[in-house]
Every structure is written in C-alpha cells, then in structure tokens.
Structure 1
Amino acid sequence: MTRTADIPHGLPVERDAGPFDPPRRISDLRATRPVSPLIFPDGHEGWLVTGYDEVRQLLADTRFSSRQDIGVLHVPYGDVAATEPSPQVPGLFIAMDPPDHTRLRRKLTGAFTVKRMKQLEERVAEIVARQLDELATLTPPVDLVERFALPVPSLVICELLGVPYADRETFQVNSARFLERDVAIDEKMAAYHAMTAYLAELVTRKRADPDEDLLSDLARHDDLTVEELTGVAFLLLLAGHETTANVLALGTFALLEHPGQLAALRADADLLPGAVEELMRYLSVADIFYRYATEDIELGGETIGRGCTVVVSLLAANRDPRRFEDPDALDVRRAARGHLGFGHGVHQCLGQQLARIELRAGFAGLLRRFPTLRLAVPADRVRLKSDMNLYGVHELPVTWTPAAPA
C-alpha cells in the first residue's frame, strides 16, 4: 500500500465535496493510508482511521479504550488545548470499557430487544401520523426539522423513558449546546449540568413513585445509584432524539437531491427497509468517535503507540470502495448490510431497532402524505451542521403543492 499522503495537522471537517460526502482530504487519506498519523492542534501525535476493515477491527478491539479518564484529552480540530482527563461520569456507559460498560448495558438490553421494539411500532406509527396531520395544516414553506424530524423521535423517546414532552425545550436546547464543537468547555459543561440536574430530579421521583416507563424500570434496580441512573438517562435522551432527528432531516434532503432514488421509493414501498440501511450508510450522521490505545497495537500495517488518541471516521469507512461498490452513490436498492452507521463492537448502538422503526415510519409517512414535497430554498442555502458533533441540517425549508379541496 502506498504511503504518499501528507500527515494532516488537525482533522479535516469542511464538507468541501458536497453536503453528504466526507471532506476530500479524508477520502484521499482513506485511499492512500487508511490508518494515518494525525497531528492534533495541541501537538499530540495521534491517529486517524478511515478504512472500513480497519475501523471495524478497531471497534471490536477493547484494547482501544472508550474511557476519557485514562489520559490527557486531545481535541482534533479548532484551537482547543489539551485538557486533563475527565472524571468517569457515573452511568455514561458509552465512555466506559468492560466490565463497567457490560454491567450497565446489560440493565438495558431487555428494554431494547427486537421483540419489544416491534411492539412499539404501532405507537410510533401513531406519533408519525399525528405529526404529519399537523404538518398538513400549515402553509408552506415550513422547516421540516422543527415541525417533523425533531418532534417525532423526541415524542417517542420521551414516552419510552417517561420524560414529560412538555419539558422538551429544556433538553433540546441544552443537548444542542452540548453537541456544538467550538464551544468553550465551561459552556458545554453548563449545558450538561442543566440537563443532568433536571434528569436527577426526574429519576429521584421515579424511584420514589415508579410508573410504566423505562426510567422507572431502571429506578427499581437497587444496585444503581441516582448518579448512575442520571447518566444513563442523559445518554438515552440525547442519543434517542438527536441522532434519529438528524437522519430524518438529512435523509429527506438527500432524497430530494436524488429524485431518481426518491421516485424509486415512491413506486415501491418494499424498498424502504433497505433504503433506511442505505441512508444510515450514506449519511453516517454519528461520524467521529474516539478511542485511546492502552498498549502498542498493530492496525492496518501501522503501530499505534500506547497513550495515543485515535480518531475514527464511520462516514469514511462507510464510503470505502474496498467494501461498497460505487460507495459515494446513494442507491436505495443497494444491499448495505454490514454498514457501520450504528457502530460496531460492544458499543454498537443499543437503540438501533427503535431507530429503524422510527425512520421507516417517518420516511414512509412523509413520502406518502406529501408527494410533491420539495426544497423551498436552493440546496446550497441549507445550513449544514458542520459545527456539531452529530451531522445534519439546522433547518430544512420545504414546500409542497397543497391538495385541492374536495
């Protein structure tokens, strides 16, 4: 394999190849050196992994730790200086390794089984239908994020967890602030503490007076502290509405920009399950993850030294031509099995079945109810979330031709 690529200084983040594609520099690195050295802005010599096989191998290897409390934290973009290790947050199992990760995740596996998620399908369909009914009463243009893509998963996750939907502004504003990239750490932590203070009060109430919801179920576990319950609630609430909302909005944008693919979906509803997998592959809204090498580890012909911070790009891996034919094309007929849009290994997305149900119902309902849906602004005026740790669009102005009165 050639080793001709220059070592990047800082992680390339500008979407200069188009709103749905990896930065050109990232794609070039994947082609020439899929496990590449990366010089962080603070001078740390870490690594960037972009190849499909290499990313999959890394995510399955627990010697690459997810903990943020084991070494100096290095941020690969902007001018953020290295910081001291963050203390391990109770309950935040996405930033834990086995056995701590295993203990907490095991408490949740029963709630997210395929069978239990299938039982939620009818309720999700009702929520989608109600939001579409409300959307149809509006005079276009409207922002699809505000009126559909964000409310649907927020309603679902609030109902599942037992979080009052009336409190959505509290967690939506703070979760968005928490996910911004170039925000001072004190502002980010203020948003985090606002969310966790709210959730700590909520889980304390549920422990005293449980209801029929997931947080109440968890609160019945005497071996979980309030702090652990709060961390779990934070993670589920954040991941449960932000990721799916971004796929619904960005996926609609992508389909509107690929009219042939959109027409194929409208003509054959049976394509929808596969199309959801393809959109997860093609968009990879949860793109950048971090791991920390706990020893010297060989990966992709390179030696990643103990203590190095490793940046993982799921989007680049999901666009690897060694794994997917014509990977930069959106193809709703593609068999996208094996994509990494939900991650891989012990941290693979716990709520992926719920996400699939929401995305299938959301796209199916939207395409059926609004056959003339189209962008209300030129595509290059859609504001992209290049400033966020979860990719998507800030707003998606859309319009349609209202149905003639009967």
Structure 2
Amino acid sequence: MGLDLPGSVSFEPLQAPFESASDALARFDERLRSSPVAEAFVLRAHFHDACAALWRAGEFVQLEDLVLHDAGMDVRTPTHELVRAHAVLLTRRRIADREPGWALTTDGLASLRGAWRPNGVACEPTAGSLVMVEAADREVDDEDYETILTGEFAEIDELLARTSRPIERIQPVPPKRDDSGLVYDEDWDREARLAEWRERLGRSQNLPPLMAASVALDAWEEIEPLQRSGWLGPLLAAALLRSRGKTRHHLAALHSGFRYAKYRRVGRDDLETRLIALACAIETMANADAKELDRLTLARELLLRKCKGRRTNSRMPQLVELCLASPVVTVPLAAKELRVSQQAATTMFDELSSNLRELTGRGRYRAWAVV
C-alpha cells in the first residue's frame, strides 16, 4: 500500500479495524455538523473526557464536582484529583477553541505544557488591553474631546506611564519546579523525549489520519515525554485528527473511548496489537457518542414541549439549553446563569421534572440531569 508503518508492522491486519473505526468517526462527525444539540454535546464531552483522563490515571473524580468546580461553586474543598481534572478540562477547551493544528506546533505544545519559548514569548492580548485598543480606535465625541483637552486625566496617564516602564523591562522567567528528585525524576529529559516523539510524528505524515493519530498516541505512551502530564497525549492525537480534517466539528474524546473499551495496554503487547486496540477503542467511542447525541436530541424535543405557550420573556427555554449543555445543573447554578432567583429556578425545575432526573433526592442542595 506504500504506507510507512513503524517497525515490521504490515498493513493488511490493520486495514479492517481502521476502516471500520474511520467510517464510524466520520459518520458521527457529519451528524454533529447539522445536529441542533451539537454545541451541547461538545460542552458535555469536555467534562466527560476530563473525568475519563483521571480514571485512566487511577483516580476517580465525580462529574458533579467537576461541573461545580468549573462554575466556581464548590460545595467542599477541591481535592488534588479534582484540580487535575479541571486542568484537563481547560486544556481541552483551549485546544478546541484554537486553530486545528495549533496544539501540534512548537509554540502550541510549549504553551500547553507550560514552558516558555527561549526566543521570546508571544503574549496574547488580555481583556484589559482589548478594551484599551477598542477605546483608542473608537471615535470620541466633542464633549469627550474637550474633557481630554482639559487635562483632567493627566495625572492618571502619568501614573500609568511610570508603572508601565518597569513592567516592560521584565523578561519572562521559566517556571521553577522541584528538581530534588522527590516529585520529578532527575534523569527525565523532557526535551529529548519530546524531540523523539515529534520525529515519530513527522514520519507518520503519509499515513491515513486515524492511523497517524494512533501511531502518534502509541509513541506518546511509549516515550512518555511529560512525566506529570501523560493525559496530554490523547488530546494531541485528537488535535491531529482535527488538523487532518477527520473530525471537523468536534475534538474527539479519546480518553472516554479508552474508558469504554475492553482493552487495557500492557507492556508485552506488540505494536500491531496495540494499534488494533486503539482503532477498536475509537470505534467504540464514536458509537457511544452517536448514542449520546440521539439521547440529547430526544431530550431536547421533550423539554422544549414544556416551553410551548409560555410568554416570550420566559427563561425556561434558556434553562433547557443549560440542562443540555451541562451534565449536572443545580439550583444556584441555574439561578446564576439565568439571572433569576433560586425560588424561580426551583419552580422551573419542578415543571421540567418529568423529563429531568433528580440526582440528590433531598429537599436542599438539589441537582438535576437530563434523563
């Protein structure tokens, strides 16, 4: 077939499982393109994949705790595992919001693993700087112009100028880490391991997208470039699928696929067995995602029936979209997002209760999820 597979792996045993997985993934991505619950599915997939990433590392994180922690409404002190799951969640969102190939670039990978570029740092504009730029570009009226000419803000401008000069002279410093050997292995050469992984990634460019992503992921788990962020490998493989055009409308939740799959990686398995297992896991993930999409579509239709005949300024349709977008919704969370009182949120939940599942079963601190 003219494919440069690593080692002595032949293409024939891999053809059937990878074609089946590729078809399943392509069908689901095309369905997601025109689905009315596509955005809700993508938002929920971020949470599920973050929890699955910690599950693969041997930790357990409650989905409800992750949702509340992300909203800044923790009911208890966040655990170390919860903080790590939230880091996975934020990284997934960051990769999904950027250009398809950004995560695989040198700058993108350095940013994701928290390293500074030696030749300078490309700083992203902050919200404050955007406001200042917009204010500078906006035309001012005569009254504002006269106010500026009077020099009422001269002292403030002088103070900002004095504080900006020292800040501009500050050079970014690489983050310090514990090199005592208690947390990080002293002999762990991250740069050399990353260079080796990028070399293998380059050799897989002529492979089909799904096979290239599987080879890159297998190389990541074999080389282990980052000692404390092994969960980044499946996210980079998902970004590779997106950059190659295999998944145009979502970032594949590979962690969830590995959680559903029956195969567990062991050291004695050869490369051919591992690649076939990855293909089967991706197919399992695509089929499970298709069922989840069907479930959300049906739930949306049933919930929107409850909104018919209501006044135009009713917040219940917004509550329906919130319930679809978030795996778990509590009364305080709904009141915060919809900007209504907790009593009003409770009343709307009671009206939708026939199509929602209450998770707590208590009179206080109630939470609901889509059936």
Judging by fraction of residues, say which structure has more helix.
2
TM-score (norm 2): 0.23
Judging by fraction of residues, say which structure has more strand.
1
Over alpha carbons, which structure has the higher Rg? 2
TM-score (norm 1): 0.21
